[in-house]
Structure 1
Amino acid sequence: MAKKVTSIKHNTDTRAHIPSKEEAGYEDASSKVQSGKKILELPKNPIVHRGQDPELFWLNKYGNDDREALLKIDIRSLYRHEHVAPETLIRNLYTVTETQSDQLDLFSSVNELFGNALEKDEIDKVSEYYQHQDGWTNRLIQGDSHLVMASLLEREGMAGQVQTIFIDPPYGIKYGGNWQIKLNSTDVKDTNDEALTGEPEQIKAFRDTWELGIHSYLSYLRDRLLVAKELLTESGSCFVQISDENVHLVRSLMDEVFGSENFVSLIVFTKTGGASSNLLGTVNDYIIWFSKSKSVVKYRQLYQGKEAGQEGATGYTLIENIRSGEWRSMTKDEKERPLEISKDYKIFDGTPLMSTGESSKGNLPFEFMGKEYLPPSGSHWKTSVTGLKKLAELQRIIAIGNRIEYKRYLDDFPVVPYSNIWLGLGERGFTGEKLYVVQTAVEAIKRCILMTTDPGDLILDPTCGSGTTAFVAEQWGRRWITIDTSRIALSIAKERLMTAIYPYYNLYDENGDVRQGFIYKTVPHITLKSLANDEPTANETLYDQPEIDKKLLRVSGPFTVETLQNFEPISPEELDDEVRVNEEEGAFEDVIKQHLVSAGIKNGRKDEMVVFRSVELLASESLNAEGFYITESGEQKAYFHIGPKFGTVSKKLVNEAIKDCRSRGDAQWLVILGFSFESDIEGGSQTMSMGTFQVDRVRIHDDLLQEGLKKKPAKSAASFVTIGEPDIDLNRNGNEATIEIKGLDIYDPIKDEVKPRNIHDIAYWMVDEDYDGSNFVVKQVFFCGGDKDEFNKWKKGLDNLAKESTKKKVEKTLKIEIDDEAFDRLYGHISHPIEIKRKGQKVAVRIISQFGEECTKVLLT
């Protein structure tokens, strides 16, 4: 039996074998990527070497005014964080009523879905990083786009492999429109401090990028375009979406990077409404299109339906009675409502039968309806006299005054090519509710992708947002990589891709090679030449109308979620401005010390305050300070590990801090301070020779990071709040078990409070039923914080597949039985049953809050 639920696989493509997050650090032992700092160098301005285009100058463009200056980029590693295959997730929601052998084969080996990336032996992993290839899986990457693209270019050797790049950067330098603070809220106001993101990576990006306003903005975009150009194939294209505020500057910048000779088009597309103004309102945005090399750029013509009186068909103002052959001009009402014209009439346009320029063979007269016609001086017939006679036989010639014209029917070619003016995208450009504050219209990205790529080609979007580019690329069978700094953006994109339903497009290749393309609808293209010369009618391909198999349901293909190596440099001494950085970090630790003494730590679970008598800084990498606090038992000692000012607390350093604290033997508490934490850092009790000590994660309030950025500092209740571990039960029943989420302490950066045991503040949670310690493979997913109708896309897809709303008709068409209980579990806190295969089997649970923060807990069966 054929598979009923499937996805598009890119079996002929590969990608570099990279480490998982749990294997971080081992890749430095690879023979290709040596330990130590690795730098990518590119000329800051290629125009200097071409010497032909005008140059745009801005403040600090070259640093010390060195026009030959090089752009230097620190090369980092990328780590696999999660493996997601929606096929395996939806499989929990139905059973097959016919033979199940083929269905079970599909899910018998998760390794097959991820190109055998999970099958490496432990002893081979180190030597194989970057040296060998895995099967292709699409990629959702968290990290600074500049560093991620440089890593793809240098560490993975992806130069010349990307067919199309779509960039939707911030339109300007106002922070309010460039991010959102919660997964389920797009209400962001630029003038409202409460809308400011709580993510330290975003704050750092905002400060670093917009320090010099528009000058910093241009450097930000220039740096990314330079790397993007290196990633493109020779036939590749780069699109940048922008508003009228900076379109002129970005166009000049792209002239410098790609060369003005490679400019293709400035696309104008309309939005829902215009920006409010006392003057002329603005209702459009722009997409600037450049090619890597215009002479070989890949281009697929797209068409829209032709309608009389609309774009490309304004000249069709004549109608002919199909019975009598009589023709006339349309009336005023017919021109205004051409779709209401009677089916007894055909719409046509009269076009000249003559072209300008003398014919080398001379002109011969042509007799039509008893009258002789001859092209005037300086022109010639578009076809031979024999061809004119053929057109007359086909009743394709009409006489208008002293000339004859070719009768071109509206349906001779029922479509018209798109121009660079795209109307109505604000009205029909989105599919469903807008998920992200700066979400791009689906239709705009779709057209850019279909114009410049074929199925199987690779798309890169360094500005992921809500994942629209990945969503569209997935729908149309393209491979994709998308990048974002924001945890919120990546979580929205991941959720969107996990639950997406697509139509199944029939492949041209029966063996499933997507690179051979889809079976597309075609339309006839009847021309004067083909009729006059009695040639076969040409057909044009409609690349946006593939043939659909309504008996199959398609979901997203397998993809990996990846993270960039820690946002902080590997070591301070590797930085050019070492002294400045050390001073800055020292000042930051001193601020932490002062706030610990003055404000203490708030226990988020018990709503209690811990007050410190004294805190002193230590000269240690893992333990940065020590302090004394008073309890009912008397004075107690605490050690502090202070995470980076901009970045994520490292599990490696936390482990070192625990070892150091254990060896000292005089502490009752180890406090891990940070703005964000690697997902697998856990608290708990640790044993030492003198007893035990408690380890707690403590969230630093964002106000300590945002000085000078907000209009006024917030009045927070505490600068530090403890973050508790998730309360999770594993309930075993024979050879099966279920996971129950009983609660999660979630820090709300808006209200500066920890919400204990609030399941509704969980956005979604995932389960790896057989965690191998190195690769988190998502086998189950559940949505706690969403509306049931909004997130129940899989069941809607099964229902819509049969175009019937009743369960029996769905089951009859698909030969499957929908598991209503499993669908109900999708919106709760109890997992599907888990098969216990052996003693000591690990079950990993990962929970993502509405604020994008996540935690992972591993349970033993």
Structure 2
Amino acid sequence: MAKQVESIKHTTTTRPHIPSKEEAGYEDANSIVKNGKKVLELSKNPVTHRGQDPELYWLNKYGKDDRDELLKVDIRSLYRHEHIAPETLIKNLYKATETQPAQLDLFSVNTLFGNALEKDEIEKVSEYYQHQDGWTNRLIQGDSHLVMASLLEREGMAGKVQTIYIDPPYGIKYGGNWQIKLNNRDVKDGSDEALTGEPEQIKAFRDTWELGIHSYLSYLRDRLLIAKELLTESGSCFVQISDENVHLVRNIMDEVFGSENFVSLIILKKTSGLGTSLLKSVYDIIIWYGKNKEKLKYRQLFKEFEESDLVELYPSIEIDKKRRPLTSEEKLNFKQTMKTGTLYRTMDLSSSGLTPSCVFDFEYNGKTYQSLKGKSWKTNLSGMQKLSSIGRLDNSGSTLRFIRYANDFPVAEYSNIWDGIGGASDKLYVVQTSNEAVKRCLLMTTDPGDLVLDPTCGSGTTAYVAEQWGRRWITIDTSRIALNIAKTRLMTAVFPFYNLYDENGDIRQGFKYKTVPHITLKSLANDEPPATETLYDQPEQDKKKLRVSGPFTVETLQNYEPTTPEELDDEIRVNEEEGAFEEHIKQHLLSAGIKNGTKSEMVVFRSVELLAGEALHAEGFYQSEKGEEKAYFHIGPKFGTVSKKLVSDAIKQCRQKGDASWLVILGFSFESDIEGGSQSTSMGTFQVDKVRIHDDLLQEGLKKKPAKSAASFVTIGETDIALHKEGNTVSVEIRGLDIYDPIQDVVKARNVADIAYWMVDDDYDGSNFVVKQVFFCGGDKSEFDKWRKGLDNLAKDTTKKKVEKTLKIEIDDEAFERLYGHISHPIEVKNKGQKIAVRVISQFGEEIMKVLSVK
């Protein structure tokens, strides 16, 4: 029996088996890294050095010696962080009753995600990067340069991507390309309040734009070089940009792809221009290059005429075989005019050149016509006679002309000027591309089942459009805010259900598309059947089905410092920076102390000294009720995440020393399992606390004014999550959550208002977080209204029609109400050791995870 809620699965395609975050390190057993080191090496200028094109120069284009022609990139691992299949989420919202035997479980984890989740530990370790899993789309957090290099070298994806869409920052403004909260897009350039607090974003800003436009050009060049290697021979690369830097970006693309592979500049005309004291700018630009223009995959797109346009293009009308020009009134009342007759226009019958066999005198309606001097007719004598016999000639003027009806070819080819689609109409992110612009680029250059890559995810527009049109996708961003916006957008998306051409469900065969006739003078004159044009943007729809996003994984990039010999100088520089950073932390510990976020108490240190240990970086003395006590500090990375392994090492070393009562884990961000464990833990002789470092410590020299806050270090509060048991089911309740607000510089105790959404894995296996339930208590209800509307329509349809084998949809109103709250759907207790994992995401993109055991 066919399901009524479905998604597109790419069952004939595979992807490499990679570890989860919890399995990090196991992949080293069969790593491709040689002698502990591996870098990707690419020529920085593959075209101009062969003398094909002029070269653009900028500061540090070739590194310190200005002639280092090789781009070197570390090869790192990617880790699965979450498995998401919206089908499993939406099934909680309806009850299905059938007239036939019970439906099979079509939402099983292994069906949705291939076989990655059913292997034992030995198989997993031996097969990382060697074994292939079923395809799932990919949402990846990390630097796009490193992620693309990992895909290219570690996963062997050279020549596997059909289209790449890059929407980079248009320029290098201070704050115009990010936002600090999921639900706040009001970002003002130059405003400290609007500056992101994400360490990854601060690093990206400083590293990328250190040399201004020069750094910007290197940033783009480096990513385009890898993009070219990822593309198929028939592949396309699009870069969206403004007129500010389009000339420079096109120069770089000439150097990377070769000027001979330039395809087009597409003009995106906006509905309004940007304010300026001079001439307003009313367009953005998409630069289009092919990997190999001679082999480029191209699908012509067409636009259907508006009725108002038709009366301008076809200014005459035929009614009962009588022809005349349209009156002014008929042009104004064009809808009524279209019903009364057939619109037409006359066209020149002379060709552009001279063909001797088509030069002759032709008699029509008692008058003889000659071809123009130096030209011939567009067809031969028999062709002209055929046109005459079917009434396609017109002699109302001084020359003989061809009659073309509006319905001969009711569409027109798109040119490279696209009107009115410069920006998104329903922005979720401060910088967001129009769906329509991305859609046209993808439909022109890909087929269903092809792979699309966007290294500038933002709000996830490319992934969203690719999902709608049955393309596979990978999208990348460093920002937690951007990734969470994209994730929620994809989780809650509802798409039209397009009928597949292949009855067995192979998406690679495409959809069933609407077609239109293309009647031409030539086909009429030669009495040939007209050509047929396919409208790739108009597939057949089945309105009795609801389609949601297919399964996708959320992934993260491995974090470590450069280790290659070629980057030894950079490693020394990083180590020096880390030493300065630790000294910076020490001084702030002495001056500000540590604030207890839930009790508003302060711990003041008499002294703090740095240590040379790998896991314990400092020691300090403070006064407590018991007198003077000692604390050890683990200082997390300046740009990165505190890992579970380093915390374990710090605890071991603190236990071995045995002379401290407190271990403080300092960090800007923490791995989810670290974040979600007990925030304050007693280890017998000492206490362990996780303490968040205020983001202002990263922003010195970037913000205009130094931070006024004294709360440089704040303990992370406990997540208050409860399990309620009833019979053989349990439910999860989010009672409270202490969330640090970097804007107000406070920890808001037991405040659930700042939760953006939370997710539940009701049978967590310890290494794969599979999202089974999701709740958007702090999100936009309109997203779930789409689910409700879609299910309502299905329910009405199945109720009205008394057809056998119909699956009836019954809406679960209580389940919909729970979507906006803090209590989960009921969870069936399957076994004694069952674990339930809960992930809570704040409006700041921060993530907290807690694992509960069902007893």
Q: Given the two structures, how large is their TM-score scaled by the length of structure 1?
A: 0.96
Partner Cα separation in structure 1 for residue 430 and residue 366 of structure 2: 69
Q: 1:333 to 1:575 in 2, by over 3 A?
A: farther
Deviation at 1:93, TM superposition (A): 0.8
> Which stretch shows the higher mean deviation, 147-156 or 408-417?
408-417
The reply to whether residue 321 of structure 1 matches residue 318 of structure 2 is yes
Q: Work out whether residues 99 and 807 of structure 2, in 8 Å CA contact, stay in contact via their aligned partners in 1.
A: no
**Partner letter of residue 451 of structure 1?**
M
Aligned 1:298-447 pairs, distance under 5 A: 298-307=297-306, 310=309, 316-328=313-325, 330-332=326-328, 334=330, 338-339=334-335, 341=337, 343-361=339-357, 363-426=359-422, 430=424, 433-447=426-440
Q: 1:316 to 1:191 in 2, by over 3 A?
A: same
> Which stretch shows the higher mean deviation, 593-602 or 781-790?
781-790
Q: Work out whether residues 351 and 407 of structure 1, in 8 Å CA contact, stay in contact via their aligned partners in 2.
A: yes
Q: Residues 14-64 of structure 1, C-alpha deviation per residue, up to 9 Å, x if partnerless?
A: 000100000001111115445622100000111233312111111111124
The reply to whether residue 669 of structure 1 matches residue 662 of structure 2 is yes
Partner Cα separation in structure 1 for residue 336 and residue 600 of structure 2: 71
Partner Cα separation in structure 2 for residue 102 and residue 51 of structure 1: 68
Partner Cα separation in structure 1 for residue 851 and residue 566 of structure 2: 36
2:471 is matched with 478
Q: Work out whether residues 268 and 420 of structure 2, in 8 Å CA contact, stay in contact via their aligned partners in 1.
A: yes
Structure 2 alignment gaps of length 5 or more: none
Q: Work out whether residues 76 and 146 of structure 2, in 8 Å CA contact, stay in contact via their aligned partners in 1.
A: yes
Q: Work out whether residues 358 and 378 of structure 2, in 8 Å CA contact, stay in contact via their aligned partners in 1.
A: no
3-state SS of 1:10 partner:
coil
Aligned 1:138-287 pairs, distance under 5 A: 138-287=137-286
1:838 is matched with 831
Q: Work out whether residues 794 and 809 of structure 2, in 8 Å CA contact, stay in contact via their aligned partners in 1.
A: no
The reply to whether residue 81 of structure 1 matches residue 78 of structure 2 is no
Q: 1:102 to 1:241 in 2, by over 3 A?
A: farther
Partner Cα separation in structure 2 for residue 104 and residue 205 of structure 1: 48
Deviation at 1:662, TM superposition (A): 1.8
> Which stretch shows the higher mean deviation, 42-51 or 471-480?
42-51
Q: Work out whether residues 48 and 68 of structure 1, in 8 Å CA contact, stay in contact via their aligned partners in 2.
A: no
2:767 is matched with 774
Q: Residues 192-251 of structure 1, C-alpha deviation per residue, up to 9 Å, x if partnerless?
A: 111000000000000000011000000000000000000000000000000111011111
Match of 1:822 among 815, 833, 840: 815
Q: Work out whether residues 358 and 379 of structure 2, in 8 Å CA contact, stay in contact via their aligned partners in 1.
A: no
Partner Cα separation in structure 2 for residue 215 and residue 179 of structure 1: 21
Partner Cα separation in structure 2 for residue 80 and residue 540 of structure 1: 43
**Partner letter of residue 367 of structure 1?**
E
3-state SS of 2:357 partner:
coil
Q: 1:50 to 1:801 in 2, by over 3 A?
A: farther
3-state SS of 1:71 partner:
strand
Q: Residues 249-292 of structure 1, C-alpha deviation per residue, up to 9 Å, x if partnerless?
A: 11111111100000000000122321101221111100000000
Partner Cα separation in structure 2 for residue 363 and residue 778 of structure 1: 73
Partner Cα separation in structure 2 for residue 350 and residue 67 of structure 1: 62
**Partner letter of residue 792 of structure 2?**
D
Q: Residues 381-432 of structure 1, C-alpha deviation per residue, up to 9 Å, x if partnerless?
A: 1112111111112111101433111000111110001000000115xx646x
Q: Work out whether residues 47 and 55 of structure 1, in 8 Å CA contact, stay in contact via their aligned partners in 2.
A: no
1:507 is matched with 500
Partner Cα separation in structure 1 for residue 531 and residue 743 of structure 2: 62
Q: Percent identity?
A: 74
**Partner letter of residue 159 of structure 1?**
A
Q: Work out whether residues 640 and 672 of structure 1, in 8 Å CA contact, stay in contact via their aligned partners in 2.
A: yes
Q: 1:348 to 1:45 in 2, by over 3 A?
A: same
Q: Residues 661-688 of structure 1, C-alpha deviation per residue, up to 9 Å, x if partnerless?
A: 1222222221111111111103456565
Q: Work out whether residues 761 and 850 of structure 1, in 8 Å CA contact, stay in contact via their aligned partners in 2.
A: yes
1:36 is matched with 36
Q: 1:232 to 1:137 in 2, by over 3 A?
A: same
Q: Work out whether residues 408 and 517 of structure 2, in 8 Å CA contact, stay in contact via their aligned partners in 1.
A: yes
1:292 is matched with 291
**Partner letter of residue 318 of structure 1?**
P
> Which stretch shows the higher mean deviation, 334-343 or 635-644?
334-343
**Partner letter of residue 83 of structure 1?**
H
Partner Cα separation in structure 2 for residue 695 and residue 228 of structure 1: 45
Deviation at 1:714, TM superposition (A): 2.2
> Which stretch shows the higher mean deviation, 73-82 or 376-385?
376-385
**Partner letter of residue 651 of structure 1?**
K
Q: Given the two structures, how large is their TM-score scaled by the length of structure 2?
A: 0.96
The reply to whether residue 516 of structure 1 matches residue 509 of structure 2 is yes
- C-alpha RMSD over aligned residues: 2.1
Q: Work out whether residues 32 and 131 of structure 1, in 8 Å CA contact, stay in contact via their aligned partners in 2.
A: no
Deviation at 1:633, TM superposition (A): 2.4
Q: Work out whether residues 358 and 377 of structure 1, in 8 Å CA contact, stay in contact via their aligned partners in 2.
A: no
3-state SS of 1:577 partner:
helix
Deviation at 1:568, TM superposition (A): 3.9
Aligned 1:438-457 pairs, distance under 5 A: 438-457=431-450
2:777 is matched with 784
Q: 1:203 to 1:793 in 2, by over 3 A?
A: same
Partner Cα separation in structure 2 for residue 487 and residue 100 of structure 1: 46
3-state SS of 2:841 partner:
strand
The reply to whether residue 612 of structure 1 matches residue 605 of structure 2 is yes
How many residues get paired? 850
Q: Work out whether residues 686 and 692 of structure 1, in 8 Å CA contact, stay in contact via their aligned partners in 2.
A: no
1:701 is matched with 694
Partner Cα separation in structure 1 for residue 88 and residue 507 of structure 2: 21
Q: 1:692 to 1:573 in 2, by over 3 A?
A: farther
Q: Work out whether residues 237 and 452 of structure 1, in 8 Å CA contact, stay in contact via their aligned partners in 2.
A: yes
3-state SS of 2:486 partner:
helix
Deviation at 1:105, TM superposition (A): 2.0
Partner Cα separation in structure 2 for residue 458 and residue 277 of structure 1: 40
1:849 is matched with 842
Partner Cα separation in structure 1 for residue 280 and residue 542 of structure 2: 45
Partner Cα separation in structure 1 for residue 55 and residue 68 of structure 2: 14
> Which stretch shows the higher mean deviation, 200-209 or 369-378?
369-378
Q: 1:102 to 1:399 in 2, by over 3 A?
A: farther
Deviation at 1:103, TM superposition (A): 4.1
Deviation at 1:356, TM superposition (A): 2.8
3-state SS of 2:76 partner:
coil
Deviation at 1:801, TM superposition (A): 5.1
Q: 1:337 to 1:282 in 2, by over 3 A?
A: farther
Deviation at 1:734, TM superposition (A): 2.9
2:725 is matched with 732
Match of 2:637 among 624, 639, 644: 644
Deviation at 1:810, TM superposition (A): 11
Q: Work out whether residues 235 and 294 of structure 1, in 8 Å CA contact, stay in contact via their aligned partners in 2.
A: yes
Q: 1:112 to 1:255 in 2, by over 3 A?
A: same
Partner Cα separation in structure 1 for residue 100 and residue 166 of structure 2: 44
Q: Work out whether residues 493 and 783 of structure 2, in 8 Å CA contact, stay in contact via their aligned partners in 1.
A: no
Q: Residues 808-837 of structure 1, C-alpha deviation per residue, up to 9 Å, x if partnerless?
A: 669998611110001111111111111111
Partner Cα separation in structure 1 for residue 241 and residue 338 of structure 2: 44
> Which stretch shows the higher mean deviation, 533-542 or 137-146?
533-542
Q: 1:320 to 1:814 in 2, by over 3 A?
A: same
Partner Cα separation in structure 2 for residue 697 and residue 130 of structure 1: 34
Q: Work out whether residues 27 and 33 of structure 1, in 8 Å CA contact, stay in contact via their aligned partners in 2.
A: no
